[in-house]
Amino acid sequence: MDLNLLVALDVLLEEQSVGGAARRLHLSEPAMSRTLGRIRKALGDPVLVRAGRQMVPTPHALAVRAEVSAVVERARALFAPGRDADLRTVRRTLTILGHDAIAAVCGPALFARAAAEAPGIRVRFLSESHVDAPFLREGTADLEVGVVDTVAPEVHVESLYVDRMMGIVRSGHPLLEGELTPERFATEADHLIVSRRGKLHGPVDTALAELGLTRRVVGSVGTFPASLFVVRDTDLVGLVSSWTLPLVAHLGLVTFEVPLPLPPLRLGLAWHPRHDADPAHAWLRGAVREVLADWAGGGG
């Protein structure tokens, strides 16, 4: 077995493109196609198949993806000079899983740090899915940022700080006039929910029910940035966390304290332990920590 095929397979599954993998490995496309042929023969599986203009991995390829990535990373670690390796020579793509507001808030500073400290590292933000899946275990993502609710026992979770939900409305909304009581909050406006799974209820409804109140939820959207544009052009009431405050300011929206005891949002990082000793991943964790600390310290 040519172990170089594992490296090629790892890149092919990440790029899902013969041309992209060829460029990453500094090969010609014909040479990369021949390598893919050898991989297919060795695995007894097509690995990547054509779907329209794109190539998609087969179920078997998806099943072995995390294992292949882990083996390649361990092999790199064996030959790396150690944790003090020069990150300017590292060529990697690292994927962060989180909702869109995280990319909007952290992206500029993180891309700037990568350009200055590790120009060979590409940072890819992956939006949260509407289905729960072991993204860290499978290697689909390298780092999860946000409210981490994973129950996988082997995943490392690091708490950063506690956030809270705030109400959000357009400037001049009638709900901003006078004292805001739970009754007014529930009955004097319609509400919009943010849910990646399309839910039409949440912690607010639970808190209102304890007071014998209900609100009218007219719909849901999948991300917080999308909700801001809807709220800006309607009389709907939305909810946001402090992650979205820079976007809120840009859109001229107004936040307010929700007159209900809502559960706190515990924000943190999560990653698979196979990345613990990886210098590139350690750089990513440290960079995200510092970017978030700078943002929170700046009044975010």
Strand ranges (E), 190-292: 191-194, 217-221, 238-240, 254-256, 265-271
What's the mean pLDDT in 7-20?
91
Share of the chain above pLDDT 70, in %: 92
The answer as to whether 289 is a domain residue is yes
The answer as to whether 47 is a domain residue is yes
Q: Give 296's pLDDT tier (boundaries 50, 70, 90).
A: low
The answer as to whether 84 is a domain residue is no
Domain of 196, CATH number, reads 3.40.190.10
User: Is 234 found in the same domain as 196?
Assistant: yes
* pLDDT single digits (tens) 82-102: 555 678 888 889 999 988 888
Side-chain half-sphere exposure of 210, counting CA atoms within 13 A: 7
pLDDT score recorded for residue 222: 87
* pLDDT single digits (tens) 200-212: 999 999 999 999 9
User: Is 216 found in the same domain as 182?
Assistant: yes
User: Is 227 found in the same domain as 179?
Assistant: yes
The lowest-confidence range among 98-102, 163-167, 210-214, 295-299 is: 295-299
Give the contacts of 284 (CB within 8 A, at least 6 positions apart).
94, 96, 121, 123, 142, 143
The answer as to whether 68 is a domain residue is yes
User: Is 192 found in the same domain as 133?
Assistant: no
Which helix (H) or strand (E) segment holds residue 230: the answer is helix 224-232
The lowest-confidence range among 140-154, 219-233, 238-252 is: 140-154
Q: What's the total number of domains in the chain?
A: 3
Report the candidate in 115, 209, 207, 121 with the shortest Cα–Cα distance to residue 164: 207
pLDDT score recorded for residue 162: 86
DSSP string, 243-254: GGHHHHHHTT-E
The answer as to whether 87 is a domain residue is no
DSSP state of 237: B
pLDDT score recorded for residue 142: 92
Q: Are 199 and 130 in contact (CB under 8 A)?
A: no
Q: Which two tokens stand for residue 42?
A: 């060795």
Is 60 exceeded by the pLDDT of residue 8?
Answer: yes
User: Is 113 found in the same domain as 75?
Assistant: no
The domain in which residue 4 lies consists of: 1-79
Side by side, the strands of the sheet bearing 166-169 are: 238-240, 166-169, 254-256
The answer as to whether 88 is a domain residue is no
Share of the chain above pLDDT 90, in %: 54
Report the candidate in 126, 124, 92, 96 with the shortest Cα–Cα distance to residue 24: 92
The answer as to whether 270 is a domain residue is no
